[in-house]
Every structure is written in structure tokens, then in C-alpha cells.
């Protein structure tokens, strides 16, 4: 079967019931999405299916009809997205294991709702568990990213000026705009 991940089409031959997460991790060696629970309770495996966050550990690969975006498709160390940059600015990560999923949930939230309230942040992020307790900084980072999105043209340019790639479509706002 064919699977489009971060703009690349892959041909995979696996059990159709295999959750997307294990196709990404063990078949395609895309390791950003993490295994935490396998039952949609922790969010470590969050990826986007056509821009919507899904728990890839509980999503059979055969049910995937659309484009998959993983954390690797959101930005790279040399060209981070606005959300990733906010994560760095706030030094959010501790162990970092949950953070791919946190960033994917936050990115999906901000794409739909560039200035979420505290309650909206809670609602969008409560499926993502963090055993290190980085929630206060996640909240601050989402707010910073949201503020950056209020002046998207300037901010997105600034960030991409610092990067070696010049792909503004990687910034969440550009995708929606």
C-alpha cells in the first residue's frame, strides 16, 4: 500500500491492521513520533492526517487516506517552525520524549485557532501527557507562538532568515493562510 508522509510517497507491505505509528517507526525509520502507550492515552505518537492531529498508535495504516505529517515535516533543526522555535525559546523540553507529540498537538491547535484561550489550550493539549511536568512552559510556548502568529509576515521571515532552508510553507501559519 502507498503512504504519503511529509510529502514523500512510500510503498509499504504490512498487515493492514498495523497502527500507523509502527509503519512510521519500524518500516520507514521515521522516529520523531514516539511510542508511549499504544492506546491513545498519552499523545506521544501524535501526527497530522491532512492537518488534523491523530494518535498514530491507534490508527490502522489501512485507514490512512490522506497526507501524513510528522514532527520531521513541521520543521528541521536548521529551519524550525514558529512553534518549534517557541519551544526552544522557552526551553520546554526536559526528557523531551513527549515533545514531538506536544508540538504536533500545539501546531494543529494554532493552525485552526491562532489565538487560543487558556481553556482552549487545555482542551487541545490534555491528551498529551508529560511525565516530566513541562506543562507550564508548554502553555507559555503556545502563547508565544500565538503572539508570533499575530504578526505572521514579519515573524515567519525572521525565523526563516536564520535558517538554511527558505521554505515558509513549513511555518504553520503559511499553510492555513
Partner 1 sequence: MGKLGTITRRTFLISAVAITGGVVFGYWKYKQPHGNPLLKDIDEGAGALTPYVLIDQNGISIVAPRAEMGQGIHTTLAAMVAEELDVTLEQVNVLHGPASKAYFNAVFMEDGLPFASLDESGLAEGARSFTEIPAKLIGMQLTGGSTSTYDHYDKMRTAGAAARESLLQAAANKTGIDVGSLSTSNGKVITPEGKELTYNELASAAAEIEPSAEPALKPRSEWKLLGKSQDRVDIIPKSTGTAEFGVDIDLPNMLYATVKVNPNLLNPMNSFDASKAESMRGVKKIIEIENGIAVVATNSWYAFQAIKAIECDWVPANYPVSTDGLRQLVVDSFEGWSNSKNRNDGDVDDALENGEVISGEYEVPFLAHATMEPMNATAWLHDGQLDIWAGNQIPTQVVIDAKKITGLSEENINVKTPLMGGGFGRRAEIDFVKQAVQIAKEMEGVPVKMTWTREEDTTHDYYRPLAMARFEAVMGETAPTAIDLKLAASGVFGAQFGRWGYPLAGPDNSIVQAAWDQPYGVENYRVTGYKAETIFPVMFWRSVGASQNAFFHESMIDELAHAKGLDPLQMRLDMMTDEPSKKVLEKVRDMSNWNQSLPEGHARGVGFCLSFGVPTAQVIEIAEQSGKIKIVNAYIVADVGIALDPRNIEAQLTGGMLFGLTAAIMGEITITDGKVDQTNFHNYNSIRMNQSPNFEVAILENGSKIKGVGEPGTPPAAPALSNAIFALTGKRIRKLPLNKEVDFA
Q: Which one of ligand FES, partner 1, none is in contact with 147 (Cβ closer than 5 to 8 A by kind)?
A: none
CA–CA distance, 3 with 68 (Å, rounded to integer) = 8
Q: Is 97 in the site for ligand FES (CB under 6 A)?
A: yes
Rg, Å, the chain Cα set:
16
Q: At 81, list the grid cell.
A: 517552525
CB of 38 or CB of 51, closer to partner 1: 38
Q: Is 99 in the site for ligand FES (CB under 6 A)?
A: yes
CA–CA distance, 44 with 129 (Å, rounded to integer) = 8
| Residues in contact with partner 1, shown as a per-residue x/- string from 35 to 54 under the rule CB under 8 A | xxxxx-xx-x----------
Candidates 52, 62, 91, 113: give the one binding partner 1 (CB under 8 A). Answer: 91
User: 10 Å Cβ neighbour count for 83?
Assistant: 29
Name the helix (H) or strand (E) containing 88: helix 82-89
Candidates 46, 56, 107, 134: give the one binding partner 1 (CB under 8 A). Answer: 134
CB of 91 or CB of 165, closer to ligand FES: 91
The region of 96-104, 108-116, 144-152, 165-173 touching partner 1 under the rule CB under 8 A is: 96-104
CA–CA distance, 158 with 152 (Å, rounded to integer) = 10
Q: Do 100 and 93 touch, CB atoms closer than 8 A?
A: no
Judged by CB under 8 A, the number of residues near partner 1 is 60
CB of 153 or CB of 166, closer to partner 1: 166
Amino acid at each position: 500500500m502507498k503512504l504519503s508522509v511529509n510529502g514523500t510517497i512510500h510503498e509499504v507491505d504490512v498487515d493492514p491492521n498495523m497502527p500507523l505509528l509502527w509503519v512510521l517507526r519500524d518500516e520507514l525509520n521515521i522516529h520523531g513520533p514516539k511510542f508511549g502507550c499504544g492506546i491513545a492515552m498519552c499523545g506521544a505518537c501524535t501526527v497530522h492526517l491532512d492537518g488534523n492531529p491523530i494518535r498514530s498508535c491507534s490508527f490502522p495504516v489501512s485507514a490512512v487516506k490522506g497526507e501524513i505529517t510528522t514532527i520531521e515535516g513541521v520543521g528541521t533543526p536548521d529551519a524550525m517552525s514558529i512553534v518549534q522555535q517557541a519551544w526552544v525559546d522557552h526551553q520546554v523540553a526536559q526528557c523531551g520524549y513527549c515533545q514531538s507529540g506536544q508540538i504536533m498537538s500545539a501546531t494543529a491547535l494554532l493552525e485552526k485557532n491562532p489565538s487560543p484561550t487558556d481553556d482552549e489550550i487545555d482542551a487541545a493539549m490534555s491528551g498529551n501527557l508529560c511525565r516530566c511536568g513541562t506543562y507550564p512552559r508548554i502553555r507559555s510556548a503556545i502563547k508565544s507562538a500565538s503572539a508570533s502568529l499575530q504578526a505572521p509576515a514579519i515573524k515567519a521571515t525572521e525565523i526563516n532568515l536564520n535558517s538554511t532552508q527558505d521554505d515558509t510553507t513549513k511555518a504553520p501559519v503559511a499553510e492555513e493562510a
